[in-house]
Amino acid sequence: MNGKIVSITQERSCHAQLPNDILIVFPEPIGHTLKLGDELCFDELGFDIDVSVRNLSQDTDFKVFVAASNIHDLRIAPKHGESRTPTRNRLYGS
């Protein structure tokens, strides 16, 4: 599943948005410098697992741990204290 880096925080937390309005948040991997706009390909994206990622823009590979709490459905309105974790159907493209 492809996504694009849409923000990187001062603490080097990377936010990648998928075409289906899912936001994946993960720490920048050690030894890799990601940039805004980098195109990423997530292999077998899931909840609370290590995910292999291919940076298509820089032609590099790395792994990141993606916690369920760091996967956000941008189509769900944010409300204080509520989760925006997507359903599996939404995560995988619908």
Neighbouring residues of 41: CB distance < 8 A, sequence distance ≥ 6: 1, 2, 53, 54, 56
What is the tens place of the pLDDT at every residue in 74-83? 988 877 667 7
Separation between Cα atoms, residue 49 and residue 52, nearest integer Å: 10
What is the tens place of the pLDDT at every residue in 20-65? 999 999 999 999 999 999 999 999 888 899 999 999 999 999 999 9
Is the distance from CB of 27 to CB of 33 less than 8 angstroms? no
- Tokens 């204290």 label which residue? 81
In the chain, domain spans: 2-91
Separation between Cα atoms, residue 69 and residue 22, nearest integer Å: 12
* Cα–Cα distance list, 76 to 22, 30, 63 (Å): 10, 32, 28
Side-chain-side CA neighbours of 27 within 13 Å: the count stands at: 7
User: Largest Cα–Cα distance of the chain, in whole Å?
Assistant: 39
